[in-house]
Chain A
Amino acid sequence: MQGSHPSENGEHWMALEGGADGSLGDGPFTSRFIGIGASVPERRLTSDELMASTEHQTDIDLERLTGVRERRVVAEGEDSYTLALDAARDALARAGLAGEDLDVLIVSSISRYVGGLRMQLEPPLSLSLKEALGAHRAMSFDLSNACAGMMTGVFILNDLIRQGRARVGMVVSGEYISQLGVNAAREIRTIQSDQLASLTLGDAGAAAILERAPEGAPGIEVAGFTTLAERSRLCLAFPAKVGAGVSMYSDARTLQEVGIEDTVPLLREALDQAGLGFDEIDYFIPHQTSARAIEKGVKEFSESMGGAPKHVVVTVDEFGNTSSTTHFVALWKYLREGRFAKDDRVMLLSIASGLEVGIVIFKVDQLLERYGHGH
């Protein structure tokens, strides 16, 4: 074996990629986001409406319990593929690019529904998206990593761009997952149900385009990932017995508790690598599972880190948990609403089934101008 193990060069548990300071790995370049797109269906479903559809009387106050007031759900003709395609087109428009400019196309949907609730395993969704976007040059594939899918795609693409193996690439996902809530509503009886988390899900597509940043320009500062597989069986989803689509069974309480506990040292690791304190993060975008989980997580992280981020982004109230797209739907919303300043630093934190923990820290910078702000 040649060289020393990455952990010996700085003692880190996560697979880590550096950025502008070039402190990690051999990448001579920095990557940056240049387009964030999203597609949220028009149709809204409130938690009250969803709970009124349960087959059994439950007395669960879902909105109070999770903070999810409503979620978007697909209409006839919409599915994972159409959500992903619309988001991809939105991101390309924001970036001022065409599909043919893409070197890499990564699709990271957990749900792979095409033509309604037909789950397509082969060919990969990336094949159809590549064709529809005209991304003829792009190396394409699908990946699956639960709710950490898009973040995993960003991690991979960041690595490729940093080395110069790709100049521009897209990570895209379409999640038609409201059907899990429909299936859960048929079976759920009490607040203790292992399908409770399915009731928080909403549909959305999201896309992120990364490019090689000009020399000296800000971009992704640190990206890190790890899988704490001791927790791999806390949440399982597979084709439903009660109807079309998927059912998901999770020990949500344990997942939340261990997710927060296990993430603390990883968060510290990523911040240390970036040379930052938690209070130097301007916007913290965690995975959107429930308002309570976010509040609890931020409290524990802040106590452990000795400081809190300036803003915590919560979108679960209006979109629900949109799975792999959640960070980028939130980012898209805040970009459109002009919430960020040019120098703001954002941290995306993924805590997902697996147990996957992923972190991306970046500067907003030129993204603002692409949404009509920052001039």
Chain B
Amino acid sequence: MGTVIEATATAKAQERSMSPGALEAVDSAARSCLDRAQRTAGDLDLLINAGVYHDKILSEPAFAALIQEDIGANLSQPPGAGHGTFSFDIYNGGCGVLTGIQLVDGMLASGTAELGMVVASDMDPEPGVSRGFGFPAVGGAVLLSADASRAGFTAFRFDTFPEFAELFQGYVDWQEDAGPGPDHHGRNILTVEIAESYTVRALECAESTVRELAAAQGLDLGAVDLLVATASVPGFADALASRLGMSAERVAPLPDDLAGAHTAAPVLALESVPLETSGTALLVSAGAGITVAAALYQA
């Protein structure tokens, strides 16, 4: 029994929308993903949001609960029938989607769930006020189920490299002199700081994790058909492929205008390739921490 990807979808935030934001983008991606798999929201047992930078930087409730309500997934319990949806958020930076996939994989394997969706989106909550936020506004969704006839995800590995924790920071704090008007003496401001050395360190860490995973799984990297690699910075996948001795043709590309996408980046890359015919896929995400997540997927 393997955990397989039934569908993926992405959506950009619409600037002309009445309510542009991370929520609108991820709602749209989630609906498209369900449509592509010919599923309904009511089929979902599990909904995990892995996005970090939400509208208003909401800390409660889980952003996933808002998404669940928006897409209409088992909103209230009808008497004596059906099944519900369980929603929550995870925070693991650029590794959030793969972390969510691993959690869904576990609950599918145990029979706790039969259909799970991992979603992610990021958007600057206060354009013009936030500092250092450079991620494009995009949302993504991955729909997962168990299939007895396919291998699907066969291995996961997560590593952390805390010596590089300072290289990628996202935080909100009170800035005393940042507010307009006489009634304001300050405001809470989002700051994102990515050091110049982050990319090269993320590559080193990712290479280390991939080689550990390959060794543990007895995998010849030359036999990998597809590399899906993201780290919230442009050019990461090609550079990692080069370090791993893989050809650029095997890299799942990101659209140029979304090359620096954050938590939804793995979904964007998955969407760019025909995954069903891709043989052995290696998924690698790196993010703040530095944290690296790697997974093997047999299409």
Whether a CB of chain A sits under 8 angstroms from the CB of B52 is yes
Whether B174 contacts A6 by the Cβ 8 Å rule is no
In the bound complex, CA of A235 to CA of B66 (Å): 11
In the bound complex, CA of A24 to CA of B110 (Å): 9
Whether A7 contacts B83 by the Cβ 8 Å rule is yes
Known contacts A141-B90, A143-B88; decide if A117 and B173 are in contact (CB<8 Å): yes
Whether B88 contacts A123 by the Cβ 8 Å rule is no
The interface residues of chain A lying within 8 Å CB-to-CB of B75 are: 228-230
Whether B114 contacts A232 by the Cβ 8 Å rule is no
Whether a CB of chain A sits under 8 angstroms from the CB of B107 is yes
The interface residues of chain B lying within 8 Å CB-to-CB of A226 are: 77, 84-86
The interface residues of chain B lying within 8 Å CB-to-CB of A119 are: 57, 59, 171-173
The interface residues of chain B lying within 8 Å CB-to-CB of A236 are: 56, 58, 60-61
The interface residues of chain A lying within 8 Å CB-to-CB of B61 are: 145-146, 232, 235-236, 352-354, 356
The interface residues of chain A lying within 8 Å CB-to-CB of B76 are: 228, 230-231, 262
Whether B111 contacts A144 by the Cβ 8 Å rule is no
Whether a CB of chain B sits under 8 angstroms from the CB of A265 is yes
Complex interface bits, A258-283 against B, C-beta within 8 A gives 1, otherwise 0 = 00001001100000000000000000
Whether A144 contacts B85 by the Cβ 8 Å rule is no
**Chain A interface size range:** 35 or more
Whether B59 contacts A5 by the Cβ 8 Å rule is no
Q: Of A1, A227, A229, which contacts B114 at CB under 8 A?
A: A1
Whether a CB of chain B sits under 8 angstroms from the CB of A167 is no
Whether B65 contacts A243 by the Cβ 8 Å rule is no
Q: Which of A141, A238, A245 has the most C-beta atoms of chain B within 10 angstroms of its own C-beta?
A: A141
Whether B114 contacts A26 by the Cβ 8 Å rule is no
Whether A127 contacts B65 by the Cβ 8 Å rule is no
The interface residues of chain A lying within 8 Å CB-to-CB of B112 are: 6, 15-17, 24-25, 159
In the bound complex, CA of A325 to CA of B91 (Å): 18
Looking at B145-153, B199-207, B245-253, B265-273, the stretch in contact with chain A turns out to be B145-153
Looking at B26-34, B212-220, B283-291, the stretch in contact with chain A turns out to be B283-291
Q: Of B58, B60, B103, B147, which contacts A156 at CB under 8 A?
A: B103
Whether A266 contacts B59 by the Cβ 8 Å rule is no
Whether B110 contacts A159 by the Cβ 8 Å rule is yes
Query: Which residues from 133 to 187 on chain B have a C-beta closer than 8 Å to any C-beta of chain A?
Result: 145-149, 158, 160, 162, 165, 168-174, 186-187
Whether a CB of chain B sits under 8 angstroms from the CB of A64 is no
Nearest A-chain residue to B192, judged by Cβ: A122
Whether a CB of chain B sits under 8 angstroms from the CB of A233 is yes
Query: Which residues from 79 to 137 on chain B have a C-beta closer than 8 Å to any C-beta of chain A?
Result: 79-93, 95-96, 99, 103, 106-107, 109-114
Interface residues of B, count at CB 8 A: 75
Query: Which residues from 132 to 170 on chain A have a C-beta closer than 8 Å to any C-beta of chain B?
Result: 139-148, 152, 156, 159-160, 162-163, 165
In the bound complex, CA of A160 to CA of B110 (Å): 9
Whether a CB of chain B sits under 8 angstroms from the CB of A111 is yes
Q: Of A7, A25, A117, which contacts B110 at CB under 8 A?
A: A25
Q: Of B57, B64, B90, which contacts A142 at CB under 8 A?
A: B90
The interface residues of chain B lying within 8 Å CB-to-CB of A246 are: 59
Whether a CB of chain B sits under 8 angstroms from the CB of A244 is yes
In the bound complex, CA of A277 to CA of B6 (Å): 40
Whether A229 contacts B46 by the Cβ 8 Å rule is no
The interface residues of chain A lying within 8 Å CB-to-CB of B190 are: 121
Whether a CB of chain B sits under 8 angstroms from the CB of A75 is no
Known contacts A122-B52, A230-B69; decide if A15 and B84 are in contact (CB<8 Å): yes
Known contacts A130-B160, A229-B69; decide if A123 and B291 are in contact (CB<8 Å): yes
Whether a CB of chain A sits under 8 angstroms from the CB of B53 is yes
A335 vs chain B, min Cβ distance (A): 27
Known contacts A232-B61, A232-B69, A239-B188; decide if A124 and B103 are in contact (CB<8 Å): no
Query: Which residues from 343 to 361 on chain A have a C-beta closer than 8 Å to any C-beta of chain B?
Result: 352-356
Whether A128 contacts B162 by the Cβ 8 Å rule is yes
The interface residues of chain A lying within 8 Å CB-to-CB of B65 are: 227, 229, 232, 353-356
Whether A2 contacts B148 by the Cβ 8 Å rule is yes
Whether a CB of chain B sits under 8 angstroms from the CB of A14 is yes
Q: Which of A7, A146, A238, A353 has the most C-beta atoms of chain B within 10 angstroms of its own C-beta?
A: A238
Whether a CB of chain A sits under 8 angstroms from the CB of B45 is yes
A208 vs chain B, min Cβ distance (A): 17
Nearest A-chain residue to B193, judged by Cβ: A122
B201 vs chain A, min Cβ distance (A): 13
The interface residues of chain A lying within 8 Å CB-to-CB of B113 are: 6, 15
A122 vs chain B, min Cβ distance (A): 4
Whether B106 contacts A160 by the Cβ 8 Å rule is yes
Whether a CB of chain A sits under 8 angstroms from the CB of B280 is no
- Residue numbers of B with Cβ under 8 A of A are 1, 45-47, 52-53, 56-62, 64-66, 68-69, 73-77, 79-93, 95-96, 99, 103, 106-107, 109-114, 145-149, 158, 160, 162, 165, 168-174, 186-188, 190, 192, 287-289, 291
Going nearest first, the 9 A-B pairs with the smallest beta carbon separation are A239-B188, A244-B174, A7-B83, A122-B170, A122-B288, A230-B75, A229-B68, A353-B61, A226-B84
A-B contact pairs, 10 of them (CB 8 A): A1-B145, A2-B148, A13-B82, A25-B111, A110-B60, A120-B171, A126-B92, A228-B77, A232-B61, A241-B187
Q: List 20 other contacts, CB 8 Å, given A131-B160, A354-B61.
A: A6-B113, A11-B81, A120-B169, A122-B93, A122-B288, A123-B168, A124-B291, A140-B160, A141-B99, A144-B88, A148-B88, A228-B84, A229-B65, A232-B61, A232-B65, A232-B68, A239-B57, A241-B187, A244-B173, A356-B62
